[in-house]
Amino acid sequence: MVVRTIAHGEKVAGIIEEGKYLMLTTGDEHALVSLQTGQRALVSGGPKGITLDELPIRRMIGHTDPYHLAAAGASDLDGAALTACGQRSSYLLEHGELSRFWLGP
């Protein structure tokens, strides 16, 4: 579900904080994505994550992992999402730490 589109010039740090706040208050994953229309948006998934096939996503810029899950780095589903978007890397906010993760060697 698209929470809101991102206005031109918005600071990434503010968007990250908003995603973190939304994840903490709802328990759901949130992601900053680029849509097929070219707009950037903050999207939300349910407790099992974000379903990319239900959204017109072109690129996953970064996403949160819920605090109730143990910190384990990027999951197989995260890798599948990147593959579906034709990407090799993205950012993950997990337990307050922002890191970049890569697919493959």
Residue 72, pLDDT score: 85
Residues 6+ apart with CB under 8 A from 60: 31, 33, 52, 81, 82, 85, 87, 90
Would you state the pLDDT for residue 39?
94
pLDDT for position 47: 67
Listed by start position, the domains of the chain span 2-102
Average confidence (pLDDT) over 100-104: 86
- In whole angstroms, what is the distance from residue 82 CA to residue 89 CA? 7
pLDDT per residue as tens digits for the range 41-81:
999 987 667 777 778 889 999 988 877 778 888 888 888 88
Q: What is the pTM of this model?
A: 0.85
Within 8 A by CB and 6+ apart from 26, the residues are 44
